Amino acid sequence: MTERSVRIASAVLASLGAAISAYILYVRETNGSLVCSTGGCETVQSSSYAELLGLPVAALGLAGFVVLLVAALTRGELARLVNATVALAAFLFAAYLLAVQLVVLDAICQWCVATDVLTTALAALALVRLGPASSGRWAP
Amino acid sequence: MRWRTDRRLRLAAVLCTAAALAGGLVAASVLGAREGSAPVSAAAPEPEPSLFAGIEQRGTALGSPAAPVTLVEYADLQCPYCAQWARDALPTLVDDYVRAGKLRIVFHGLAFIGPDSNKALRTAVAAGRKNHLWDVVHGLYVSQGAENTGWVNDTLVRDIAGGVPGLEPDELLSTRWEKTIDPELERFAAAAKAAGVNGTPAFQVGPTGGRLERVEVASLGPEGIVPAIDAALAR
């Protein structure tokens, strides 16, 4: 897998994640209802876990996906490192939020799970991009 | 071999930074959740459907339509005083007046405290479609959690609905988000506005089918509302 294809795939996934986060944020700010086939979206979104330091977690997710999108569109070592750091942090935090849904809230939000899947894929791509197979900047 | 060492260092630095970032986020989330609330209900206290056993429920009304007096209750299901009234006063009214065919109680729900009020009210109205609104309202009151902590979760609704013969938990969970619930909520809000309700619980008492009067209750026990009901019955 070339770095270019990894970056393109990352950009697509980050765009999808940003769109989902923006949708959740929009519904929250307009007091609307999420389209939800799992039945637990409202429970999750109205819980105290849907806010972090006074900000909606969806806003944090949107910011994270935008950073990942910019990092995917940017070449160079710094972009690779930022991409990997943010993607891995997002993956770990997403795992925690998924555990909260399953164990604490006993409710599943399909949109949150979708972003969890995207975050996992982005973390995997970030590791591939960070590795020797695509960086092309190492020498024996 | 230098590239291997570089790569390991780079990977270690990335992993450490990512773990520190995620750890900070998780810590902030856990602390925020603790500050904001009582624990989300995992196992709801047993609701008391037996309180209304054998009493006719129809839509938002409890008791015989032929009862001479009607009491309208305006309440937000997250309001602690409403829950106190339901615990302290309602059982006496049900046993002494509703069962005797003297009183009919109508629930007008409001949702001004926050998202859990809206969820709870929609659940109650959806249960009213199956003529079990009062079972669900009372179940929610006895399980009431801290405001807007997500306490009206699916588990609680399933627990309450599971204890009410005639209610299907899955159906209730999906029905409550139907758009057809909205007009009912708007009707409650309009009635509250017309009655000048600006806090909960609030009450109106009067002859069934006739003009209802606002009653200011001095206490949340039965003694707060019984005199007004007795007076209406005496007319």
Task: Taking residues B127-138, report their average pLDDT.
Answer: 95
How close A93 comes to chain B (CA, Å)?
5
CB A115, CB A44: distance < 8 Å: no
CB atoms within 10 A of CB A1: 12
Q: Is the pLDDT of residue A16 over 80?
A: yes
Amino acid A116: pLDDT? 94
DSSP annotation of A92? H
Three-state DSSP string of B120-144: HHHHHHHHHCCCCHHHHHHHHHHCC
- Domain contains A76: yes
- Domain contains A139: no
Instruction: Give the B window 70-129 contacts with A, CB below 8 Å.
Output: 114-116, 119
- Domain contains A137: no
Contacts of A49 in chain B (CB under 8 A): 29, 32-33, 150
Q: Is the pTM of this model over 0.90?
A: no
Amino acid A107: pLDDT? 76
- Domain contains A23: yes
How close A140 comes to chain B (CA, Å)?
5
State how far the alpha carbon of A17 is from the alpha carbons of A5, A79, A84, A88, A116, in Å.
18, 19, 16, 15, 9
CATH number of the domain within which A32 lies: 1.20.1440.130
Amino acid A54: pLDDT? 81
DSSP annotation of A131? S
How close B131 comes to chain A (CA, Å)?
23
Contacts of A53 in chain B (CB under 8 A): 28, 32
Q: In percent, how much of chain B has pLDDT > 90?
A: 62
Q: Is the pLDDT of residue B101 over 80?
A: yes
Note whether B8 contacts A: Cβ–Cβ < 8 A.
no
d(C-alpha B194, C-alpha B172), whole Å = 30
Q: Which helix (H) or strand (E) holds B73?
A: strand B69-76
How close B11 comes to chain A (CA, Å)?
8
d(C-alpha B149, C-alpha B194), whole Å = 31
Tell if the CB–CB gap between B17 and A89 is shorter than 8 Å.
yes
Tell if the CB–CB gap between A47 and B22 is shorter than 8 Å.
no
pLDDT digits (tens, 9 = 90+) for A45-101: 767 788 888 888 999 999 999 999 999 999 999 999 999 999 999 999 999 999 988
- Domain contains A62: yes
Q: Which pLDDT band holds residue A31 (cuts at 50, 70, 90)?
A: low
Note whether B180 contacts A: Cβ–Cβ < 8 A.
no
CB B225, CB B71: distance < 8 Å: yes
CB B89, CB B97: distance < 8 Å: no
Tell if the CB–CB gap between A85 and B150 is shorter than 8 Å.
no
Split into its structural domains, chain A has a count of 1
Residue of A nearest to B39 (CA): A104
Residues of A with CB under 8 A from a CB of B: 33, 36, 39-40, 42-49, 51-53, 57, 60, 81, 84-93, 96-97, 100, 104-107, 130-132, 138-140
| Mean pLDDT value across chain B | 88
Q: Which domain holds residue A71?
A: 3-131
Tell if the CB–CB gap between B150 and A132 is shorter than 8 Å.
no
Contacts of A60 in chain B (CB under 8 A): 25
pLDDT digits (tens, 9 = 90+) for B27-74: 988 887 665 444 344 444 444 447 899 999 999 999 999 999 999 999
Q: In percent, how much of chain A has pLDDT > 70?
A: 90
How close A38 comes to chain B (CA, Å)?
10
Q: Is the pLDDT of residue A122 over 60?
A: yes
Amino acid A32: pLDDT? 67
Instruction: Give the B window 192-211 contacts with A, CB below 8 Å.
Output: none
Q: Is the pLDDT of residue A23 over 80?
A: yes
Amino acid A135: pLDDT? 43
d(C-alpha A78, C-alpha A83), whole Å = 8
Q: How many degrees, rounded to 5, is the angle at CA B141 between CA B135 and CA B145?
A: 135
b/e per residue B30-68 (b: at least 16 CB within 10 A) = eebbeebbeebbeebeebbbebbeeeebeebbbbbeebb
- Domain contains A107: yes
- Domain contains A9: yes
Q: Which pLDDT band holds residue B4 (cuts at 50, 70, 90)?
A: low
Kindly give the interhelix angle for B133-142 and B80-88, rounded to the nearest 10 degrees.
Answer: 110
Q: Is the pLDDT of residue B177 over 90?
A: no
